[in-house]
Structure 1
Amino acid sequence: MSVKWEFSAGGVVFKEDQDQIYILLIKNKDRYGFPKGNIERTEKREDAAVREVKEETGVDAEVLDYLGNVEYWYRSGVDTIHKFVYYYLMKYVGGELNPQKEEIESAEWVPINQVEEKLSFDKDKKIFSLAVKKLKQLSKVNA
């Protein structure tokens, strides 16, 4: 058995529409989460997050702030993978939803008050809670 390390970056992307805040979620195997993907060797984490959001969802977003990271373990064949995912708060700047069918089932804009109940993993809920705190600091969400 060998242990391999993986490093990914992703984003909690928000957009404002008619006084409502929406958060971009992806769905894969009936699990909801945030768009993310592997960081290339020469790439900065922030750049990887922007690229992966675009690749997986078709959406252009800009990084506003770092939210934190999560780590977890999983198995891939005979390997044990120790994965780190670095998340950023990101603002929608353009593009249409166009899910990358090879990677995810769907991408959707979810009203902010429905996001936590849709998220499948506690680690994602923790990142979302940090994102909401940052949005409150930016006066995007009522306290």
Structure 2
Amino acid sequence: MNRRPSRSQPRQVAHSAGGVIYRREGPTIYVALIATGGGTRWGLPKGHVFEGETPAAAAQREIEEETGLRGSVLRPLETIEYWFHAGRARIHKFVDLFLLRYEGGTIVPQEAEVDDARWFPLDEAIARATFPRERAVLKRVRAMAEAGELP
């Protein structure tokens, strides 16, 4: 998956944003994950950044669209980048991930793009996350929580 494209393949760049939306119940921190791939892949909600839209605004919008949850952006967490195929083209994708504090809404998966959406205790979310880079971001959030850095 991390192979560089050959010179003969058309290349494109894609930009998405999303992140970790969290809430507290007593000492427990919950984060929302989405399922795709027929419910076989669990990950962070994210999606396309529109022209003229900031990545932070796109993260808020995409999280709300995919999960039904509204949150306030607290800080950027990380930018993940990777390559993938779309038809004959190779896509170089950048995903800006943010930390958001839950402000409201009821968890409802977006029917068109998401198979499921659920709250998970942070440790369970780390164990369930399919993609290693997203697991690393969730571990970073856990370290922030342990250090008292989550409001």
CA distance in 2, matches of 1:98, 1:32: 15
SS state at 1:120 partner: coil
Of 60, 69, 74 in structure 2, the residue corresponding to residue 59 of structure 1 is 69
SS state at 1:4 partner: strand
What per-residue deviation string (whole Å, max 9, x for no partner) do you get for residues 68-109 of structure 1? 111111111111111000001111000001111111101000
Structure 1 equivalent of residue 4 of structure 2 = none
Structure 1 equivalent of residue 6 of structure 2 = none
Which blocks of at least 5 consecutive residues in structure 1 are unaligned?
A: none
Give the alignment of 1:86-97 within 5 angstroms.
Answer: 86-97=96-107
Q: Give 1:115 shift.
A: 1.4
User: Sequence identity, in percent?
Assistant: 33
CA distance in 2, matches of 1:45, 1:68: 12
SS state at 2:23 partner: strand
SS state at 1:97 partner: coil
Structure 2 counterpart of 1:70, one-letter code: I
Alpha carbon RMSD of aligned pairs, Å? 1.5
Structure 2 equivalent of residue 23 of structure 1 = 31
What per-residue deviation string (whole Å, max 9, x for no partner) do you get for residues 86-137 of structure 1? 0011110000011111111010000112111101011111111222223334
What per-residue deviation string (whole Å, max 9, x for no partner) do you get for residues 4-57 of structure 1? 100000010111123311110000011010000010010011000000000111
- Point out the structure with max Rg over C-alpha: 2
The answer on 1:11 being equivalent to 2:19 is yes
The answer on 1:42 being equivalent to 2:26 is no
Corresponding pairs, count: 141
SS state at 2:141 partner: helix
Which blocks of at least 5 consecutive residues in structure 2 are unaligned?
A: 1-8
CA distance in 1, matches of 2:146, 2:15: 29
Give the alignment of 1:122-133 within 5 angstroms.
Answer: 122-133=132-143
Structure 2 counterpart of 1:90, one-letter code: L
CA distance in 1, matches of 2:111, 2:148: 34
